[in-house]
Structure formats: C-alpha cells, structure tokens
A and B are shown apart, each in its own frame.
Chain A
Amino acid sequence: MSNVTNVLLCGVGGQGVLLASEVLALVAAEEKAQVKQTEVHGVAQRGGSVVSHLRFGDLVYSPTVRTGTGDILVAFERLEAVRYGHYLKPGGLMLINDIEVMPGQMGEYQPYPTGIIEFLQSKAFKIEEIPATALAKAHGNSKVSSLIILGALSSYLDLSQQAWERVIRKRIPPKLVDINLQAFKVGVEMAQAKAQAAVDRAECN
C-alpha cells in the first residue's frame, strides 16, 4: 500500500486543527479514491492536545496511522510536534507553526521547554518552521492561521490548487471565504518562497 499518503495534524484544542483536517480530508476526497480520517473527541475540548490522522490513496483500510510511517506531520504548536513526532517516518517532513502555547498547570509550575527545534533536528526529520500565527495577525485576523498552515502544507501534497479552493468555498461560511482564501494563498506563497530559497542556497553551495 505504498501509494497511501499519511498526514498527521496536531495542536492545541481551539487552534483549528479539526477544521483544518476536515478541509484537507475533503480536498483529498475530491481527488483520491479513498480517504480515511480520524481523531479523538472527548473531554479535552479546549486547551488539550489534539491529533488528527489522515490517510488517502487507492486503498486505505485503517484510519489510524502507524508510528514511524507518517509522511508529513503538521504541528500547529511547537511542543505538539515533539508529542507526536514518533508517528513520522525517518526523514519525514515536519511543518511547525512557530508558536508556543503554555500548557495549563496542575501541580508544581513547569516552564515551557526550550530547545524543541534542536531536539527534533537531532531526530533527522526535515523541519520547516512557519510563522503562520504572526502572518495571520499581520493580515488582521489571528483566526486564519490554520488556513495559512494549510496553504503551506498544500505545496507538499499531490492535490490540485483548484480542489483546495473549491473545498474552502464550500466549507467556510460565505462571509469568511475571501479572508480564508487570502490566508491560504499567503501560506502557498510562503512555502514557495522557502523552496526557492532552498534552491538558491543549493546553487550557492
């Protein structure tokens, strides 16, 4: 089943991980024979850790991704990239929104860990940090950061830009379609600029 693409989206409840994974699943449904997506609903609606598994291709049985087989892990928050990193295959791509959301505290105060990116780099993943939240704020609406993240993600997936646009138009409330499409485009352009920069660097070397 090598033609199955495995994607994980993770973050903190309230960040829009579930909406983003629904949009991705709908886009995949437009272009692939089979799509499976799963997540855990439960008591940790807000502030808890959230992970969504997505698998699409010709023939997909299990909705859950095996550890060590994810092609791409999209973390809407840095710490969550560490929590679910072991689902990614060796050399797999991590797209990390470069923000830190402090977990709620139950007992003794624990500071937010430092050195996350260095730690993940030591695991030999391909890591792309994206300033989605900052870009969303710069565009006047912090809530569209998840569409910026999806825009960046779209550059790494074999799904057409037309399908993304169709789904965003269908799934997002009409009032918010334009701002979300703009955010998506910001994400696409950011990823393309990063790719170009990588090419330029390679040529310099």
Chain B
Amino acid sequence: MDALRIAGLRHRYPAGRLALDGVDLAVARGERVAVLGPNGAGKTTLALHLNGLLEGEGEVEVAGLRLGRDTLRAVRERVGLVFQDPDDQLFMPTVREDVAFGPRNMGLDEDRAAARVAEALGAVRMAHAAGRAPHQLSMGERRRVAIATVLAMRPDLLVLDEPTANLDPRARRELAEVLDPLPATMLVVTHDLPFAAEMCDRAVVLAAGRIVADGPCREVLADRALLAAHDLELPCGFDLGLVATRPYAASAPSARRNAISTRVPGP
C-alpha cells in the first residue's frame, strides 16, 4: 500500500486562480520525495491538501485512508505538516506545551503526552529547551521544535514546506542531521535543490499546478533544460557529482540514536 496516493487533484482559489490542475502522485512507504517548482507553482497548496486544510476536486489517500470529512481527524494524525514559518506553527507560551498540543488533541492522557513530548524533543535534539518560550530560540532551533510538534503525533507521512528557508549553513546541516534518521515517508517542498539532492531519492517538478517531471532526484536535477524551463537553478559552481545522497546518515550517530519511531504500536 502506498503511503500517499493523489489522483486528479484540482484546486481553484476563490479569486479564480487555478493552483492545482490535475495532480497525480503516488509515494511508496519510506520514500523521500522532493517537490520542486518555481514560486506560484502550487507546492504549498498541494501540501495543505494533504492535511485536508484545503478542499479540492480529486482524491487524496494517506496510508490507505481516503481523505474526506469523516476521516479528517484520522488523516491529520497520520500526516505531519511542518509550515514554512515556525512562528506560525509554535503558538503556545512554551516549547513543551506546544509539542504536547498535538498528542493532547489526539486524546492522549498527560503521562503519555509527556512521554511523546520527551521523545519528539529528543529526536530533534531540543530536549533542553522544553521550558523555554519559542521567541527565545534561534530560527534553526524553532524549525527543529516545529518538526518535533508533528513528530509527537507519530505521523506516517512528514510534509515539510521549505524546511531550509531562512536557515544559516550550520542550522541547515543540523536540520538535515535531525531529519535523516527519521523513518517516516517524507515529502519535502523546497527551492533548495542541493538540500533535495542530499535528502531525497526522488523528485517531482510542479509547474502551473501540474507535475511535469518525476524521477530519481539526481536525474531530475541533472536535467538543466528541465530546470531552466521551470525557473529552477542549482547554485553557481554546484557539482551534483560531489554530493553524496543522505550524507548525514553516517555522520550523525547521535541523531540516529535519538531517532524517533513513527507509527509504532503502543501509546
């Protein structure tokens, strides 16, 4: 069974703009897919559909569960959506309260919610910040806490919207080290093509609301004509041949040790 299956998804905003124009996509369990595309291609709109935050025509199925009004709650537990701006995601006065928000909404009691909080903050190496307020954290730390807020719900599918936006190189590397050991299926919506090359095995290019390319990440990124046709560009001097896919898996033993299990039997 696919972790995600999208068929004929169309979405038109009230102002009339067609943001998604028949998207078809299947993602296998454990796969990591980069969703690339220029501004306005419909990437964020697509991400919002996966959690039922937007409604359109077509079908979305997460781990065999078809998204509909009756399954909205269950789907939201299975899909962890990390927003582009962590200040949108972290709204509680302390990190601990924020990470506990999802598990509490799932109806977990306090002990189990606290265990989820400890587990999720450990996985993103932010356990020391549990009592701090989000505004006291750096952007990189906020991003990792934002990821913890959805990991605490043990999602099947992790959807990251521009995860490296506004991060300095060190925070970006720390983020990659945290994400790499996670076993969850991932959809990484990004402009950061080197990050896609490091993290993802497969890439799709979204343009004008349609998927125009789908293939192994390196092949897609090596197709200069394709990238140029859709306003995508690798950084100047960047050599794909020198990038190891998932370079952080081996270099971050602490991250692996803290790896969180997603959707395992138990609380």
A, B bound: no
* A residues in contact (CB < 8 Å) with B: none
Interface positions of B (Cβ within 8 A of A): none
